[in-house]
Amino acid sequence: MRDLIERHHFGHRRIATLLTTGALFATIALHTSDVAALGQSATATATDALTWWKAAALGIVEGVTEYLPISSTGHLLIASRLLGLPDEKGSAGLDAVNTYAIAIQFGAIIAVAGLFWKRFRDMILGLFGRSDDGRHLLITLAIAFLPAAVLGAAFNHKIEDTLFGPWPVVIAWIAGGVLILVLERTGRIPTGRQPSRRGPDPVAAITYRQALMIGVAQCAALWPGTSRSLATIIGALLVGVAMPAAVEFSFLLGFATLSAATGFKLLTDGGTLVDQFGIINPLIGAAFALVSAVIAIRWLITYLERHDLSIFAWYRFVVAASAIALLAAGVM
């Protein structure tokens, strides 16, 4: 796993630049939001339901959970309900909330682009025949991206109508935790500290067949609460990819998947988002998502140098139990 850090030279200067960019972005958006609020009525409506601090809170939730195997969609769905955002099925307010949950992924997208910029440079060079590894990686990412993209586009509205609710998320949290523990205890995925491996680039060594299997595994994440990161990391491990390469490939595939999902959602429902919540507060959320995603990615890489995925299984059980308690108490 240390090779992953060294390979991309996650220097303090680049990380500081990303964090500073996000903080500056958030500061400007907050100031603009305060100025815009001077002429608004204090009456609470759907339009101002997403205050700047709620946007910031959801941005942090998105950034922290997007690349950890615990499901950002599930956390955002539960968090938005706890914050009192619209949740009535079929309402414009709920459509706006669902769109916002996708839109703030833009911050997490920038985080990956900044931390793994050398990979993206190599892929661009590969387009012009100047990097064999870059071209191979670009093709494997395209192969892995397609299954979930096709399935998601075909069943987008049906998924939102039937699975975007607390109970489907709780079920997915529990199922994901059980899957991690079963696979670890049966030796299907590695446990404990992973040995450092030197040699050829393991990400560039991922085959087209392995990429396709990872892409098929990613389809499971269309069920909210499953976690795209969990599905792709486990999918990669099951087809023989080592943990460091599985984690990095998951990040890169996340960039492609999140970019497509964000663009598609903004094109189809972006007008509803702006009508309900404006522009500034969603930008605040994206800025906080950027900062928290940088921190979360760095932490995950370091953590998996010496540990397995079991902590995320137990976390999923705890958060599922908490959600069940809140549902039983009528809090959400």
- Does residue 5 have a pLDDT over 90? no
Question: In this structure, is residue 218 part of a structural domain?
Answer: yes
Number of structural domains (the chain) is: 1
Nearest residue to 293 via CA among 72, 62, 37: 62
- Does residue 211 have a pLDDT over 70? yes
Q: Output 86 or 23, whichever has higher pLDDT.
A: 86
Question: In this structure, is residue 9 part of a structural domain?
Answer: yes
DSSP state of 98: H
Q: 87-130 pLDDT, tens per residue?
A: 777 777 788 888 888 889 999 999 999 999 999 999 999 999 99
- Does residue 328 have a pLDDT over 60? yes
Q: Report the mean per-residue pLDDT for the chain.
A: 86
State the Cα–Cα distance between residues 80 and 102, nearest whole angstrom: 13
CA torsion, points 65, 67, 73, 75, in degrees to nearest 10?
-10
CB atoms within 10 A of CB 42: 6
Question: In this structure, is residue 211 part of a structural domain?
Answer: yes
The DSSP line for 242-302 is: -HHHHHHHHHHHHHHHHHHHHHHHHHHHHHHHHHHH-SHHHHHHHHHHHHHHHHHHHHHHH
Question: In this structure, is residue 37 part of a structural domain?
Answer: no
Work out the pLDDT band at 264, boundaries 50, 70, 90. Answer: confident
Question: In this structure, is residue 41 part of a structural domain?
Answer: no
- pLDDT for res 36: 43
CB 137 within 8 A of CB 126: yes
Residue 160: phi and psi, rounded to 5, are -65, -40
CB 54 within 8 A of CB 85: yes
Question: In this structure, is residue 189 part of a structural domain?
Answer: yes
- pLDDT for res 95: 81
State the Cα–Cα distance between residues 284 and 51, nearest whole angstrom: 10
Q: Output 25 or 212, whichever has higher pLDDT.
A: 212
Question: In this structure, is residue 39 part of a structural domain?
Answer: no
Question: In this structure, is residue 42 part of a structural domain?
Answer: no
Domain that holds residue 262: 2-31+48-328
Mean pLDDT calculated for residue range 180-202: 82
Q: 142-156 pLDDT, tens per residue?
A: 999 999 999 998 998
- Does residue 289 have a pLDDT over 60? yes
Q: 11-51 pLDDT, tens per residue?
A: 555 565 555 555 544 454 444 444 444 334 333 444 457 89
Q: 221-263 pLDDT, tens per residue?
A: 999 999 999 999 999 999 999 999 999 999 999 999 999 989 9
